[in-house]
Amino acid sequence: MDIHQILEHLPHRYPFLLVDRVVAVEPGKSIHAYKNVTINEPFFQGHFPHHPVMPGVLIMEALAQAAGILSFKTMGEKPSDDSVFYFVGIDDARFKKPVMPGDQLHLHVSIERQMRGIWKYKAEARVDGEVVAEANLMCAKRDIAK
């Protein structure tokens, strides 16, 4: 999926869109996407400017956004103004190496289970084939009251 297709499957926009390309997606199973990390990211201005490191919370958010794309593809839906896909939990998060400008952050997410609107995923972020972060994520689709 290119950026135009990603924009159809995520409600996020700049500067909070953290998925640049989807390499492979198997609805109901898994997704492989990536984010190109550049020095132009707005968070690098304030997050250790003398030694720029991508914040771990944004690595988790990038994984959650990849999970969102996977979920929408699995449901055969696209985001709407009537609902939102919330990030509702992180378990067993581990950060193994810093992510720096110039890295390509590969996002690997697989569905563990889906029950009563709650989705559970196993997520892993890699740079140059090495795991830099991992976690078990939970997301939930909720209707927006208008």
Residue 122 neighbours by CB under 8 Å, 6+ apart = 109, 110, 112, 134, 136
The two structure tokens encoding residue 82: 């009537």
Among candidate residues 4, 32, 47, 106, the one labeled active-site is: 47
β-strand partners of 120: 113, 138
CB 67 within 8 A of CB 119: yes
- Concerning whether 47 is annotated as a catalytic residue, the answer is yes
Enumerate the active-site residues. Answer: 47
